[in-house]
Amino acid sequence: MHISLRARTATAVAAAGLMITAAATGVQAAAPDDRPAHSAQQRQAPTGKEIRDLFALWNDALATGDAEQVADLYAADAVLEPTLSSVIRTDRAGIVDYFEHFLRQQPSGEIDASYVEILGRHAAVDSGGYTFHLTDPETGERHDTHARYTFVYERDAHTGEWLIVNHHSSLVPVD
């Protein structure tokens, strides 16, 4: 289950209150370092490179041709505004459906410009432009599609893995 950044913040505030209450009453509270092994990584804000590298993982998932594997990179409640469809996808089934169609074109993406904004230890945004190298499934003809993108990532509180919570991609307008 995916927990939003807002819910995690509320949980952290509640936990801090419990620790203060425990200290005031003499009850021994667990130290903050008594967390899973991935928590040390979670205490540090990601680097821009770490966030940019998430695109390579996504692109590698595209290369498998497996829509389920691509959907695994998205949070359960992620929003996908896809490049080649007018339908906004708001659940795993919709995301899988989109990628089942998109993957028929054997996409391979390449970042043209990337602008990363670190929002904290558990959230970041990567936006910019990318080019998809696509193959028409009917004719075998290859062509490039230029698009703008925004990936919003959150680090999963349980696994420490980065998940896509919002992905917007749109064709670059022809001027």
For residue range 117-159, list pLDDT tens digits in order: 999 999 999 999 999 999 999 999 999 999 999 999 999 999 9
- Looking at residue 31, its pLDDT comes to 34
- Looking at residue 24, its pLDDT comes to 40
Distance between CA atoms of residues 54 and 71, nearest Å = 14
pLDDT tier at 41, thresholds 50, 70, 90: low
Q: Is the pLDDT of residue 13 over 80?
A: no
Listed by start position, the domains of the chain span: 35-171
- Name the percent of the chain lying above pLDDT 70: 75
pTM: 0.76
Query: What secondary structure letter does DSSP report for 104?
Result: G
- Tokens linked to 152: 């919003």
Distance between CA atoms of residues 74 and 118, nearest Å = 18
Q: Which of 6-10, 16-20, 22-26, 96-100 has the highest mean pLDDT?
A: 96-100
- Looking at residue 174, its pLDDT comes to 86
Mind listing the pLDDT tens digit for each residue in 67-119?
A: 999 999 999 999 999 999 999 999 999 999 999 999 999 999 999 999 999 99
35-171 in CATH: which number? 3.10.450.50
